[in-house]
Amino acid sequence: MLSTDADTTVPKDWATAHLWFARDGAHGVAGLADLRGLSRLSADAVERYRAVVAGGMHGSRHEHAYAADLGLRADASLAVGGFPRDGHGEDHGLWRRMGAAGYRLAQPTDVRVRTSARLRGRATGGLADPLRSLHRPAPRRGGA
C-alpha cells in the first residue's frame, strides 16, 4: 500500500523507490516530506522546522514518518490492526505498532515527496498542526 496526501506531489520514481525497499525485505518505508510554499511561514518557523527534521537525521536514514510518504505491506499492516481509528496520528500509530511487532522498517533519506506548508489542515494532528505551533507571526508594527 502506498500513502500520500492530496496536497503532495511525488516524483516519477516514487512508487519504484518504495518497491525497491520492499524487494529488499522492508515491510514499511517512510520517506521524507520536503515543504513547498515556505513563504506561508515566518523565517523563524522555517528554521525551527528544519532543526526538528535535522534532529531526526542519521546519515542515510531518519526517524520521521509522514502519511504523505509512506509505503506498507498490507499483510504486516493488517497483522498489527491497520491504521488506528482514533482520527489523528494514524500514520505514526501504525508505524510504531509495526516496529514494536518486529517488522522491518526503512526510513531512507533519498525517498522524498513535496508537500504543502499549509498552516490549516483537515486532519487533527496532521503536519499543519506542528507547522502552526512553530509559526509565530512577526510582531505588528506601529501599535495595537
pLDDT level of residue 10 (50, 70, 90 thresholds): very high
Q: What is the pTM of this model?
A: 0.83
Letter for the amino acid at 9?
T
Domain ranges of the chain: 2-134
143 pLDDT more than 60:
no
Mean pLDDT, residues 123-131 taken together: 72
| Mean pLDDT taken over the chain | 87
Distance (Å, rounded) from C-alpha 41 to C-alpha 49?
10
Q: pLDDT per residue over 26-45, tens digit each?
A: 999 999 999 998 888 888 88
Of 24, 18, 55, which Cα lies nearest the Cα of 130? 55
Q: Which of 7-11, 36-40, 50-54, 57-61 has the highest mean pLDDT?
A: 7-11
Q: Is 132 exposed, middle or buried (0-12, 13-18, 19+ CB in 10 A)?
A: middle
Q: Above 70 in pLDDT, residue 13?
A: yes
Q: What is the CATH number of domain 2-134?
A: 3.90.550.10
Pairing assessment for the beta strands 105-106 and 28-30 based on DSSP bridges: parallel
Amino acid making up residue 82: G
